[in-house]
Amino acid sequence: MTPEEIIQQSQLLGYDDVGITPAVIPEEDIHAYRKWIHENRHGNLKYMENDMRCDPQRLFPGAKTAIIFVSHYKQPKQPFEPNKGVIASYARGRDYHNVHHRRLKKFIRWMEERTGRKNIAKGFSDSAPILERALAVQAGLGWFGKNTLLIHRKFGTFTLLSGLLTTLKIPGKNIAERKPRCGACTRCLDACPTGALTPFQLDASKCLSYHLIESKGNVPPHVKKQNPGYAFGCDICQDVCPHNVRPPESQSEDFSPQRGIGSFLDLSLLEAIEEEPEKLYGTPLKRRGVKGLRENLESLKTSCHSFPIPQE
């Protein structure tokens, strides 16, 4: 199996780029991850406390190669409007986990048919304990930005990663020296409304996306005041990044607003969702749930964004 065949098959399945690298996490990334956990910068994300992320062999014994796929999802930037909350661009369409899992199953089936061997690969898409961004950088797909996101050489930061580990040994890249290309730019750090970013490090407990997506409780009062108008997630550190100026908008139907809840959440849409919670199925917003989405909308009443919502 050649890299050229892998590239061709990934394109047929809808991926925008692919990289191949040995299934080994660089030591500097292991150190950075452990330091991040030790300093408790992951907030209440207890699932991040899993050192298996540092060793692909523990996830898939016998793994020799990691194949990392890139999906480009950039959507039009939406303005903040009264009586509406903006949905982060990655969450406007279908849940990328489902999209990627479908593609990965097809890719692994193709690999098995191509080699005549079974059980040679295991897929992952953000939900498995592995430092996939570190593997993406090592595979030459981009570099870490000061906003902690992968900056792809063509698509900027508006990318979603998935990948697989395989027992096959496939020639690929192993970047010995990684040079960030942010230079002296601090736009993402300066624009973060909650001060969650320092160069190349995120304090999840301060992050707006953390409170509007991952947190199971109410949005803290100080975070409410700092929210410029998001109902789910946040794109600010990406919107201001110079590397996102040139990339075109995604043409993928899976990530288009028409395939999900859309670009905005308002009271009327929330009421419709409360009547039919299944509207959230297959979308990223299901992670927050109906109750959490109402809390997110309610929190905008006390933000710097004018958002009056009548009381029930």
Mean pLDDT of the chain: 91
According to the model, what pLDDT value does residue 215 have? 82
pTM: 0.90
Asked if 53 and 126 count as a contact pair (C-beta separation under 8 A), the reply is no
Q: Quick one: tokens of 48? A: 């991040």
Q: What is the DSSP string of 203-272?
A: -GGG-HHIIIII-SSPPPHHHHHH-SSEEE---HHHHT-GGGSSSPPP--STTSGGGSS-SEE-HHHHHH
The model's pLDDT over 74-130, given as tens digits with 9 standing for 90+, comes to: 999 999 988 899 999 999 999 999 999 999 999 999 999 999 999 999 999 988 999
Catalytic residue among 16, 29, 126, 266: 126
Q: What is the average pLDDT across 157-171? A: 96
Confidence class for position 177, pLDDT limits 50, 70, 90: low
Q: What is the average pLDDT across 9-17? A: 95
Asked if 163 and 114 count as a contact pair (C-beta separation under 8 A), the reply is no
According to the model, what pLDDT value does residue 1 have? 82
CA 172/CA 180 separation, integer angstroms: 21
Q: What is the average pLDDT across 251-280? A: 92
Q: Which residue in the block uniquely carries the two structure tokens 């990655």? A: 90
Q: What is the average pLDDT across 130-134? A: 95
203: annotated active-site residue = no
According to the model, what pLDDT value does residue 44 have? 85
According to the model, what pLDDT value does residue 173 have? 73
**Residue 218 pLDDT exceeds 90:** no
According to the model, what pLDDT value does residue 81 have? 86
Strands 159-166 and 65-72: antiparallel
According to the model, what pLDDT value does residue 311 have? 40
Q: What is the average pLDDT across 167-173? A: 89
**Residue 308 pLDDT exceeds 50:** no
